[in-house]
Structure 1
């Protein structure tokens, strides 16, 4: 599949809603350089676990794992991307159990917006504390079929919502697509979600910063992974794990 060309995000939030979802697949590139030997595990502070440790990077991304891990994985992902959902369900559990738990690897999540639904979902995810970003994102990807089913079942209402002014648009999309109910069942009340989605300044800032980072790293498809700043050779978990092991990561014992 040809990698998706990322649309200019600032134009995306100002444009009327497009119901057709873009295809997505990460691009290949140069792998990170190999290490001279295995990296020793790093113990988490007493009473904590690296798989439950989330910090915010200097770029504003949610970092899961040891913030000082020698191997820093960055994932550029879209919440409506099937390949991203496949990684979340097939690769991320192993990544957490075998590598993040060892304290040698962290993963930072960065947004890519392929369509208006990505904007709505990301804003709702970021409406809560940073500690919930990875968990809520994984919930979205695990349930991507039912979530987008709400969009497909109400196409006229969703299309009409996409024509509204920005201060109303994202709230209405979340209402008619069933996103409010999905997130309410996971701890984000409908009132909190409406407040976040109607804050157009915050939405625009989120989208513009994501666009800036994606352009700086020349991201053209999702998911795309960087390991210590170098592109991983493929979007699948097998490619990511191979790059981690080449760089010295070993599964936690």
Structure 2
């Protein structure tokens, strides 16, 4: 009987590990190592990277079409999604800083709330008055970002997520965060040579010409 005990123990351990994996909500597992937000099982077979800008209308279209489906992929534990910011302008920076406000575990919900609300706030940004543009593009960074968050109703979105206005203002005043996000955008541009958003990589390989869910989904499915 002693000879079988190690085998039995290993079998029990594997079963317990599988049970833990099956019960894990991978949509709440977030790793910020490497500069992005890796959502999902770190041991996932497929590593999907998304390069996104909040002021990119095509990114908003992609989010509307694909968010639910990608959540299903991630929830299986077979796909890990790495969301990486491409910060293009002060409005984009403001949204990105708010998405990064608070602990990493809140990022997936923050990201979805902001990008899925894009159809409501992006037209306002595109029709900004001269006075709004003056507030958004001149003066101290924290004041500019607070003006953007107010005019585009970002505060309302984030308060709906459970944040307090004072906490949001602290995040928008974090110049170290603003610098880090800008530097990470540049580092990713140098490394990945991303020329348009949204763009995607699977298992570390940038997908040429893939900027829509209709093109990405078949390539994901093929790897299953």
Q: Establish whether TM, by shorter chain, passes 0.5.
A: yes
Which ranges of structure 1 fall in alignment gaps of 5 or more residues?
1-41
Q: Which moved more, 1:198-207 or 1:73-82?
A: 198-207
SS at match of 2:21: coil
1:1-253 paired onto structure 2 within 5 Å: 45=21, 47-50=23-26, 52-97=27-72, 99-152=73-126, 154-161=128-135, 162-233=137-208, 234-247=210-223, 249=224
Greater C-alpha Rg = 2
SS at match of 1:109: strand
Offset, 1:224: 0.5
What's the TM-score once normalised by structure 1's chain length? 0.74
SS at match of 2:125: helix
Give the superposed CA RMSD: 2.0
Q: Structure 1 177/102 Cα, relative in aligned 2: closer, same or farther at 3 Å?
A: closer
Q: Does the Cα contact within 8 Å between 1:43 and 1:103 map onto a contact in 2?
A: no
Distance in 1, Cα, partners of 2:101 & 2:199: 24
Offset, 1:46: 5.5
Offset, 1:216: 1.1
Q: Deviations over 1:38-62 (max 9, x none)?
A: xxxx876354222x23222421211
Distance in 2, Cα, partners of 1:190 & 1:157: 23
Q: Deviations over 1:104-155 (max 9, x none)?
A: 1111100001221110000011012212222222222221121224435652
Q: Deviations over 1:155-196 (max 9, x none)?
A: 233212121122422122222332222221222221111111
Which ranges of structure 2 fall in alignment gaps of 5 or more residues?
1-17
Distance in 1, Cα, partners of 2:19 & 2:83: 23
